[in-house]
Chain A
Amino acid sequence: MTSATAVRGGDAGIGAPRPRKASGPSRGASPLVYLVALVVVGFTLGPVLYAVLGGFRTNAQLAESPAGLPNPWVLDNYIRVLTDSSFWSYALNSTVIAVVTTVVAVTFGLMAAYPLARYQFRWREPLYTVFVLGLLFPATVAIIPLFVIITRQLQLGNTWWGVALPQAAFALPTTIIILRPVLMAIPTELEEAAVLDGASRIQFFWRIVVPLSGPGVVTVGVLAFVASWNAYLLPLLLLQEDRKTLPLGVADFSSQYSSDTAGVFAFTTLAMVPALVFFLAMQRRIVSGLQGAVKG
């Protein structure tokens, strides 16, 4: 992935080739810098590590010395969560909803971005503006009617689709805004060559545009996936019981067993593992995606 990106030069959404890293000759690091770095790392990772370690302790240990290390280490809490079928059903729901959201948002977004980037037609800019304006409407604004529409008119209450489709819809603006310049950047010569070879624009889309927009697609895909994976408000209103996603499960567990601190830590830790693994694997994409979306 990395080498492919390097060859194509520049990440998705970022127009200009990336400037050199600022690292002047006399910019070495002093001990102070390392100290600050250490404090920042401690502040950042402290709570996460505490939760991970807390899961290996008993409630008695936690009460006795809140800041201590596991002694002895207990696997009980983690085993309890891992053998709990509701944990796995939360994880399954989260995964399915995030995958559907991502696939729908990326497929529809890429298709829509294509004519908005490369066709000449009268309604192009107004149409683009409609999608851009979507950025101004967070799901919060429309949440009550969304709830009514999805549960009554569409009969999709408490289903995977009922959450995934609106999430994909709200991911469309970002997707299209990031993908449009990516598609614009595909050289005109390629299109001309394809036309000379007798390809229609639809064929050009499938054979050239889709393969060439790989890095951009990964970026918007990751953004949509992470947003869906972390979403709380919409699932909170729409999903019940065995359809709940991980964030809902975590919140439930935490309020039901709030005195079982060790259990809460174990549950939370296991719930954050998928997000962390995914982040580490996709780090470059997430970061470049955010920067690209923000740079403007």
Chain B
Amino acid sequence: MTSVVRRSDAAPHTGTGVSNGAADRAPARSAARRNASARSGSGLRTALEVLFFVGPALALFVVFVVWPVARAVQFSFYRWKGFGPLEDFVGLRNYVTVLQDDVFVAAFTHNMVIIVLSILVQLPLGLAIALLLNRKIRGQGVLRTVIFVPYVLSEVIAGVVWFQLLQPQYGVIEGILGVVGIPGPEQGWLGTPDIALFTVFGVLTWKYLGLAVLLFLAGLQGVPDELIEAAQMDGASWWQVQRRITVPLLGPTVRTWAFLSMIGSIQLFDMVWILTGGGPANATTTMATYLINEGTKRYNYGIATAASVILFAVALVFALLYQFLVLRRDVAEADASARRGVR
């Protein structure tokens, strides 16, 4: 994600400075170049300028990101109810408590279920829609706009609307399904423990499918026409073209999406909080709802921060594993194809 195209920024220093006062602009320019690089090197002034430019951002970042994160780690070693001094040091006991808490383990499992379901459901669905839409059809612009609307709405608004749609008895979803002859679960889609998590996932899919489609469509634009035309001239069917050329070339985009989706699923909070609050019977808790519950309702700040550190560790492990297993392949492939010459 961080590998935003990096262009070499510094002056290439190709102006050798040998040219002495010829009629063209070269000497002046190379002088300016030398001048610029000399100024870059001059310590104090550069340091002050850097401080002037980076200082405000760095201060903000330290106060509101670095400091709180450090405090989270600190809190997690104490039993602390949010008032009085921080003195009841308990070592790793909060972590043990969290990891042995069935509710947290269930919450962690729910996060994992959402990750797996996203890959299994949203990926093929998004890919299929993107492939179908990646052609000249009327109203394509409108379509892209429409598809993206749920993504722009806040999770809260989306959640509140869906909460009403999913009401048992008088909600419209049950009304529609009733017409088709599918009875809703007795406690409602959000009230039945076995179903609630899948219902939440359904709403998440509604909200985030547009992002997947949009990213895949952007990736598809990078597939060169020549390849597709060549394959078509060789008699490949539409289906073969998609399977052998388009989808493989979409690999990096898909992997980036999968990464974003994973990180989002690990932090899942808003939608669950609105739709179910983690219930019924903790059937839809996530790590984030767990830690908010512990922190803001029970004032177990030590437990809550321990859970947040664990959440971070999980996200980090995922990010590193992913970087290691999947994204590295992209880099290796890019290198290989660069060596082979652009294909």
Residues of A within 8 A of B (CB): 13-16, 18-29, 32-34, 36-37, 40-41, 43-45, 47-48, 50-51, 54, 62-63, 65-67, 104, 107-109, 111-112, 114-121, 123, 127, 130-132, 134-138, 140-149, 165-166, 168-170, 172, 176-178, 180-181, 184-185, 188, 191-193, 195-196, 201-202, 205, 226, 229-233, 237, 246-248, 250-251, 254, 261, 264-265, 268, 271-272, 275-276, 279-280, 283, 286-287, 290-296
Contacts and interface: CB of A to CB of B under 8 A. Distances in A.
Interface string B206-245: 1001110011001011111100110010000000000000
29 contacts: A21-B221, A27-B135, A33-B132, A44-B146, A44-B150, A48-B153, A65-B175, A66-B172, A108-B57, A112-B57, A119-B50, A123-B50, A140-B288, A141-B311, A143-B292, A146-B68, A148-B71, A165-B64, A169-B63, A196-B29, A231-B154, A246-B154, A261-B167, A268-B157, A276-B149, A276-B152, A280-B145, A287-B148, A296-B256
A125 to B, nearest CB: 11
A114 B56 CA distance: 13
Given A40-B129, A47-B165, A23 B49 contact: no
A92 B273 CA distance: 24
A169 B292 contact: no
B280 to A, nearest CB: 16
Nearest to B268: A140
A29 B295 CA distance: 54
B33 interface: yes
A116 B57 CA distance: 12
B57 A172 contact: yes
Interface string B241-261: 000000000001100110010
Interface string B43-84: 000110110111011101101110111011001000000100
B69 A254 contact: no
A201 B49 contact: yes
Tell me the dominant secondary structure on chain B's binding face. Answer: helix
Contacts of B69: 137, 141-142, 145
A22 B134 contact: yes
Contact of A112 (B54, B206, B232): B54
Interface stretch (B2-10, B88-96, B102-110, B335-343): B2-10
Contact of B312 (A43, A44, A141): A141
B61 A134 contact: yes
A169 B157 contact: no
A192 B33 contact: yes
A228 to B, nearest CB: 10
A108 B153 contact: no
Contacts of B257: 294
B116 interface: no
Contacts of A109: 57
